[in-house]
Homo-oligomer: A and B are copies of this chain.
Amino acid sequence: MTTTAFIGLGAMGGPMAAHLARAAEAGGGRTLVWNRTAAKAQAHAAQYGSEAVSLPELAQADILFTCLPTSAEVDAMLGELRPHLRAGMYWVDCTSGHPDAALRQHAALAELGVKFLDAPVSGGTKAAEAGNVTMMFGGAAQDFEAVRPHLAFGGRVVHVGSVGAGFAVKAINNALLAVNLWATGEGLAVLAQGGVNLGAALEVINASSGRSNASENLIPQRVLTRTFPATFALGLLAKDTGIASDLIGQHKSSAPVLAQTAALWRGASRVIDPQEDHTAALKLIEQMNGVTLT
């Protein structure tokens, strides 16, 4: 009988916790939930059969999942939970957090006998709802093996290295998203200036060697349609490129393309709007080129 707990019932966390509750119901365990806005937890309990509990009660779970905007919110939760956490439990942080924070949080929890794993997710809300998010784990192999059977919301689940490695891979993944998206925007701006039909250009690029998730999905669905649906904020992707830059600084890496792109995303976040969808960064490319990508 395993008791899981979940903090952070947002667009990703809500459906992820629902999968835990469903599995608990099937398997005889319990799923405890908590949210800074208490009503969200109560609604989740009512809808999915989880239990909305207090933090001290939640801190008695076998596995605690967190899914928050940044590592700063995880630090805050750790402060509140510290007096209550049960030795021997696991804390699996699904936030797109900072590798430095993972090391710090791991050390602080180790003093309490709590095992920390960083396990950011990808796939967006669609995968969260389908219960097959991709998970990249940093931490001890035996801790990974211990929690693995209880990842009811997980699809592809991969152990990528020691503590912090999960966050590192997530940061690099998002930095690559930022590069691919920006570069494809530049390429389309050049073609637009030359009078090329962008839909036709994307059709062939997507059947050719220059294709990426950005060219196949994001730009045709969000940019050429001029909808820019705000599912992943420009400011958050700019933050993630900053985490990648921090990694680059720590390892004294030579990564000129990632470094330049991080700078451009920060600029776009300020010139456009950090709250807009991340694909709206291409509006800065449009301004710098005097074209609209349609």
Contact = CB atoms under 8 A, between A and B. Distances in A.
A172 B195 contact: no
Interface stretch (A27-35, A52-60, A63-71, A151-159): A151-159
Interface string A177-196: 10110111011111101111
B195 A162 contact: yes
Interface residues of A, number: 87
A249 B99 CA distance: 15
Residue of A155, A187, A245, A246 most packed against chain B (CB within 10 A): A187
Given A195-B162, A247-B194, A270-B289, A205 B173 contact: yes
Copies of this chain, count: 4
A258 B187 contact: yes
Contacts of A135: 204
Nearest to A288: B267
Main secondary structure of the interface of A (DSSP, over half): helix
Contact of A266 (B209, B210, B252): B252
Interface string A6-48: 0000000000000000000000000000000000000000000
Contact of A255 (B214, B215, B263): B263
A211 B287 CA distance: 27
Residue of A122, A158, A179, A268 most packed against chain B (CB within 10 A): A179
Contacts of A256: 186, 256, 259-260, 263-264, 267
A136 interface: yes
B266 A215 contact: no
Contacts of A258: 183, 186-187, 190
A234 to B, nearest CB: 13
B253 A249 contact: no
B264 A176 contact: no
Interface in A247-279: 247-264, 266-268, 270-271
